[in-house]
Structure 1
């Protein structure tokens, strides 16, 4: 998956979350969970775009770690909504699947970037 496709995918996830949240009934507890979810879900794509413009490998890695954390946090808020039975779990299932996949993708990207950084440091020392 290339950068452009991943940018589109993270943006699509944010849009899907926005539409999902807009379809929910208004309840105090659900409003709080929805606000948290929309913040982290929209942050994934924004921070990934920022990571792609990283000034250095270290900057890229730091931003990718944030993206990974935001994707994982999205899963948390979706799970809370589902387990508290505040929303229909059918709508959440697709969003959780995508959030899990995005978390796995960004975890792998971060691990690869850290390994390349480590190898580059070893090369410089030689």
Structure 2
């Protein structure tokens, strides 16, 4: 969780200075995969009672919003060429 959760920001930051539009889209797609992996780890921690329902819900809501933002960015980048 620590690895996948923290690398999302690093990859997005790297995408800010992408060498090309295809490079930007590729980096954002990697960030999308990493936040999706983070959601998986959150679900696993909830199911094994490592996280309370309340803590899971807060963290999962944040992660889901980040996933939606990244997905929207990717869709916009693809439609703009």
Within the alignment, does 1:42 sit opposite 2:9 as a pair? no
Residues 1-126 of structure 1: pairs in structure 2 closer than 5 A: 37-117=1-81
TM-score (norm 2): 0.94
Structure 1 segments, 4+ long, off by >3 Å, are none
> Whose RCO is larger (CA < 8 A, sep 6+)?
2
Which range moved further: 80-89 or 68-77? Answer: 80-89
TM-score (norm 1): 0.62
Cα RMSD after superposing both structures? 0.9
What displacement does 1:91 show?
1.4
CA distance in 1 between partners of 2:24 and 2:50 (Å): 37
**Larger Rg: 1 or 2?**
1
List alignment gaps of at least 5 residues for structure 1: 1-36, 118-126
SS in 1 for 2:75: helix
What displacement does 1:65 show?
0.2
SS in 2 for 1:87: coil
Which range moved further: 59-68 or 85-94? Answer: 85-94
